[in-house]
Structure 1
Amino acid sequence: MRVLFTLFPGAAHLYPVVPLARALLAAGHEVRVASHPELTGAVTTAGLAAVEIGDRVDVPALVGACASDDRLDRITGALDIADGDPGNRRNVIRYYMLAGFSLYHPAPPAAGAAGDPARGSATDDLVAFARAWKPDLVLWDPLSFAAPIAARAAGAAHARLLWGIDYFGWMRSAENRRRAAALPGGDPVASAMRPELERRGLEFDEELLLGQWSVDLMPTGMRITDEVRYQPVRRIPYTGGGAVPEWLHGPAERPRVVLTLGVSTRKMFAEEAGFPISELLEMVAGRDIELVATLDRDQLASVRSIPENVRTIDYVPLDQLLPTSSAIVHHGSVGTFGIAAAYRVPQLIVPVEGGDGVVVARYLEDRGAGLSMGTGGFTAPELWKNLERLLGEASFQTAADALHADSLASPSPLDAVPALEALTAHHRAGRR
C-alpha cells in the first residue's frame, strides 16, 4: 500500500515517526513524508522520500501570532479544567497544540481586507499531491490540520500519529464537546474549521480532528482520555544520523551524566532564565562523574571555566549518547523522556515553563524512575543533591528498567504493520 506521513515542520515531530516509516518500507510499502520545506533535509537524511508543501514556516512568529487569534480563546475557554489547571492543559492546548491552526484554517480577513494568499497554500499543495499520488493511508501529525482534508480528497484511510500526550483527544471528549456546543455560536472548533471545509465541499466531523483511529507512541499510563481508539506502537529511539565520536565507541570510564534541554529550548540554559550553568559546572569539578553538556557558543560565553571532567559539545544524537550514560538532566520533552526510558536511564527533569514537561515529570516521579526540580528558580547545590540521589540510589535504576519493560508490551513498529494494514483495509472498505 501507499502511506503518506504529514508532519508539522520540526525535527521533534519527525524523529519519533522515522522507525515506523522505515518499518513500512521494510514490509514492502511505499512511503512519502510531506511537510514544509525546512524539514526536507532531515527527512531525506533519514532515508525517506520528502514532499514539500507550502512555504517555510517561522515557528516562533507563528506561535506569537496565535496569541491574538481569538478563535483559539473560544476553543480553550470551554474546556472542563480543574481549578488551578494542574496539568497546564489550557496553556499547552492554546499556545502549543493550536499554534499551527491558522496555517491550515486561517482566520477570515477583516471586512474590506484582502486575505493572505500564503494561507491555505500548504493545504492546497497537500490535497493536490494526495489526489495525484493516491495514498491508501495517511498518518498525520496532530498539528498537521490539512492532512485529514487531503485524506478525504484522495479517499484514503487516515489516522493521527501521536508523538506526545493526546491533548486533542481529551479536548474532544464527550463532556468538552457538550460544553463547546453550549457556547453562543456553537462549537468553536467546528466554526473555525468550517470555512476551509466548505470551500472543499466538506462538513465538519470528529474524524477531521481526531482521525479514524490514533497510532500512539506514548506509554499507556500517560493517556488522558479513554474515548479514543488507540493502536499502540513502541517508541524506538531515533534522533538523527552522524558519525559516532571516538569517545562513545566503548563504555564510559566513570558514571556519565548528560545535560540537555534540546535544540529548541536551549534558551532556558541562559543565566537570566535561572539555570546556573557556571555554578553547576564548577560544582561537578573533581567529582567521580563525566558530565556531557550540550551547550552552544552563546551559553559557553557565560561559563567561567570548564572542569576536566566536563565535556561540552554542541550536539550529539541522544541515541548515540544514552546507551553509555548513567543519568540525564533534561527539560521534560516527551521525546527526550521516551529515549531515556528506552535506554533505561534515570532522569532528572527541569520542566520548561508553559509546556507539558510538568506532566512528564509527574509521571516520571510517580513511576519512581527519576526526580523533578520544578519550574521555578533553583540553585546548583539543589540540582547536585538530586543528581547524587539519582546516581546513588538503586531504586531509580530499578524503576527505569521497569519503564523500559513496560514499553515492550506495545508492538514494535515492524510488528504493528499488519494492524495498520488491517485498519486501512477496514476504513477504506467503509468508504466504498
Structure 2
Amino acid sequence: MRVLFTVMPAAAHLQPVVPLAWALQSAGHDVCVASHPNMADLITAAGLTAVSVGQVDDLGALMRGAADDQVLESITASLRADPEDLNIRNAFRYYQLAAFSLYYPTRPRDHGYRPMVDDLITFARAWRPDLVLWDPLSFPGPIAARACGAAHGRLQYGLDYTAWARQRLAELNSASDGPAVEDLMALAMLPELERLGEEFDEELVQGQWTVDLVPPGMRLPLDLSYVPMRRVSYDGAHVFPTWLRRRPDRPRVCLTLGLSTRKFLAADSAALVGDLLEMAAQTDADFVATLNATQLESVSSVPANVSALDYVPLSLLLPTCSAIVHHGGGGTFASAVAHRVPQMVPAPGEGGDRLAFARYVHERGAGLMLGREEVTVETLHRQMALLLHDPTFRQGTDRLHADMVAMPTPKEVVPVLERLTADHRS
C-alpha cells in the first residue's frame, strides 16, 4: 500500500515518524512524508521521500501570534477546564489551538487560499495513498485523506489534548439541563471546510484511529480507539565521535534543552541556562551540554567541567551518562528511558507536554522535577547529588524501561495498520 505521513515543520515532529516509516518501507510499502519545504533535507536524510507543500513559514512567530487570539480563548473558555489542572487548559490553548489556527484561521482577513492545505490535497489526489498518518498538529492531513479516499489516523507522540477537548464538550452537553454548549472549535473550522467542500465531523480532528506513542500510564482517560506503539528514538545519522569511545573517569551528565526550545524559545531559557551551568560548576561530574551559541550568549563563561557542544546524538551520548538534565520533551524522555538514565526536569513549561512528562518521571521514581519557583543553583546542586548517588532512581528507570518495552514495536504495528487501512479505505 501507499502511506503518506504529514508532519509539522519541526525536527522534533519528524523524529517520532521515522521508525514507523522505516518499518512500513521494510514491509514493502511505499512511503512519502509531506511537510513544508524547509523540512525536505531532514526527511531525505532519514532515507525517506519528501514531499514539499506550502511555503517556508516562521513557525515560532505564527504560534506566538496565536497567544492573543480571542477566538482561541473563547474555544478554551467554553470547555470550563478544571482550574486545578492548568496544564491541560494551557496545553490545549497555547499548543494545540495555536497549530489549529495555522490551518483554520480565526480572523476573516486570513481566510482564503492556504498553500500547504491546497498543495497537500493536490498531491494526495495525484499519488493516491491508501493511508494517511498525520501529526496531531497537522490538521490538513484528514482533509487530504478524504480527497483521495484514503484511510487516516493520527500519530500521537504526546498527550491527546484534542480528544480531551472533544470529550469535555460532550460531557458538558450531556450533564447540562440548560442550553447546549456551542461547539466553537467546529464553528472555527467551517469557513475553511466550506471552501474545500467538506463538512465537519469528529474524524477531522481525531482521525479514524490513533497510533499512540505515549506510555499507557501517562495517557489521559479518554474513550477513543488507540493503537499503542513503542517510541523508538531517532536522532539522525552521524559519525561516532572519537571522544565518546572512551568511558568517562567520573560520572557524566547530559544537559540538553531540546531542538524545539533552541529554535523557538532560546531567549526564554537564558536564565535557566545560567543556573544550570553554575550548578554544573559545583558538581563533581563531567557535563556534556548540547547548547548552541544563542543559548550561551548571555553566559559569561562555561565551567571547566562542561563541554558545550552544538549537538550530540542522544543515542550515542546517553549510554555513557549517569544522569540527564532536560526540558521535558517527549523525544528526550524516550531516549533517557531507552538507555535507563535517571532524569532531572527543571522548570518544565506549561502549554505542552513537558510538564506531563516531568510529572510522570517523578511519579515513577525515575527522576526529579523542579517547579519554576524552586529553581535555584543551590536546589539544582542538591537534586543533582541525589540523582547521581541514590540507587532508587536507577530502579525507577528500570520501571519506565519495562513500561516501554511492553509496548508493540513499529514492526509489530505494521500488520495492525494494514488491517485498519483495509477496513477504512473508501
On whether the aligned pair clears a TM of 0.5, the verdict is yes
Map Cα deviations across residues 179-219 of structure 1 (whole Å, 9 max, x no partner).
37987883111111112222222211101100000000110
State which of 160, 171, 176 in structure 1 corresponds to 2:169: 176
Alignment partner, residue 321 of structure 2? 325
User: Are 1:268 and 1:352, in contact at CA under 8 Å, matched by a contact in 2?
Assistant: no
Q: Distance in 2 between matches of 1:241 and 1:170?
A: 36
Report the Cα offset of residue 307 of structure 1: 4.2
Unaligned 5+ segments in structure 1 are none
The answer on whether the counterparts of 1:351 and 1:361 sit within 8 Å (CA) in structure 2 is no
- Tell me, in whole angstroms, the C-alpha distance in 2 between the residues paired with 1:98 and 1:335: 21
1:157 aligned partner = 151
Q: Distance in 1 between matches of 2:204 and 2:277?
A: 49
Q: Which has the higher contact order (CA 8 A, sep 6+)?
A: 2
* Alpha-carbon distance change, 297 to 82 in structure 1, aligned in 2, over 3 angstroms: same
Label 1:324 to 1:187 Cα distance change in 2 as closer, same or farther (>3 A). same
Q: For residue 390 of structure 2, what is the amino acid of its counterpart? A: E
Report if aligned partners of 1:322, 1:343 keep a CA contact under 8 Å in 2.
Answer: yes
Aligned to 1:137: 131
Q: Per-residue displacement from partner, 1:370-415 (whole Å, max 9, x unpaired)?
A: 0011122522221111111111111111110111111111111011
User: Which residue of the other structure, out of 202, 222, 228, is the alignment partner of 2:224?
Assistant: 228
Query: Measured at CA, do residues 416 and 99 of structure 1 come closer, stay the same or move farther in structure 2, by a change above 3 Å?
Result: same
Between the aligned residues of both structures, percent identity stands at 51
Residue 11 of structure 1 and its aligned partner are, at CA, apart by 0.5
Distance 1:195 1:46, change over 3 A: same
CA contact (8 A) 1:157 1:427 kept: yes
Residues 66-81 of structure 1 correspond to what in structure 2 (within 5 A)? Answer: 66-81=66-81
Distance 2:188 2:209 in 1: 22
Tell me which residue corresponds to 1:97.
Answer: 96
Residue number in structure 2 paired with 1:316: 312
Amino acid at match of 1:353: G
How many angstroms does 1:106 deviate by?
2.1
Match of 1:238 among 234, 243, 248: 234
224-233 or 348-357, which deviates more: 348-357
Q: Match of 2:191?
A: 195
TM-fit CA distance, 1:274: 7.4
Give the whole-Å Cα distance in 1 for the aligned partners of 2:279 and 2:267: 15
What does the per-residue CA deviation read over 1:343-364, in whole Å, with 9 as the maximum and x for residues that have no partner? 1111000133333322211111
Say if 1:36 and 1:200 are closer, same or farther in 2 by CA, change over 3 A: same
Tell me the residue number matched to 2:282. Answer: 283
Match of 1:384 in 2: 381
Deviations 1:11-59 (A, max 9, x none): 0100011000001001110000000111111111111100011111211
Residue identity matched to 2:136: P
Quote the Cα distance in structure 1 between the aligned partners of 2:137 and 2:269. Answer: 29
Give 1:34's aligned amino acid.
A
Match in the other structure for 2:119: 125
Q: Does structure 1 conserve the Cα–Cα contact (< 8 Å) formed by 2:169 and 2:181? A: no
User: Matched residues in 2 for 1:66 and 1:333: separation?
Assistant: 22
Return the offset for 1:302.
4.3
When residues 108 and 385 of structure 1 are mapped into structure 2, their CA distance, relative to the original with a 3 A threshold, is closer
- CA gap 1:393/1:268 in 2 versus in 1, 3 angstroms: farther
Q: Which amino acid aligns with 2:331?
A: G
Give 3-state SS (helix, strand or coil) of 1:148's partner: helix
- SS of the counterpart of 2:395? helix
Which of 365, 370, 376 is the equivalent residue of 2:367? 370
Q: Distance in 2 between matches of 1:136 and 1:393?
A: 51
Which stretches in structure 2 are left out of the alignment for 5+ residues?
none
- Asked if 1 retains the 8 angstrom alpha-carbon contact of 2:276 and 2:380, the reply is no
Distance 1:151 1:398 in 2: 44
Relative to 1, partners in 2 of residues 1:120 and 1:178: Cα closer, same or farther, differing over 3 Å? farther
Rounded to whole Å, the distance in 2 between the matches of 1:301 and 1:65 is 25
Distance 1:317 1:65 in 2: 32
Query: Per the alignment, in what secondary structure is the counterpart of residue 220 of structure 1?
Result: coil
- SS for the counterpart of 1:236 is coil
Q: Is the 8 A contact 1:180 1:187 kept in 2?
A: no
Distance 1:216 1:120, change over 3 A: same
Return the letter of the residue paired with 1:65. G
Q: How many residues align?
A: 419
Deviation at 1:295, TM superposition (A): 2.1
Rounded Cα–Cα distance in structure 2 between residues aligned with 1:132 and 1:71:
35
Q: Which amino acid is 1:254 matched to?
A: R
Considering only aligned residues, what root-mean-square deviation do their CA atoms show, in Å?
2.1
Checking the alignment, whether the CA contact within 8 Å between 1:36 and 1:52 is kept in structure 2 is yes
State the SS of the aligned residue for 1:276. Answer: helix
Q: In the superposition, relative to structure 1, how do residues 269 and 250 fare at CA in structure 2: closer, same or farther (>3 Å)? A: farther
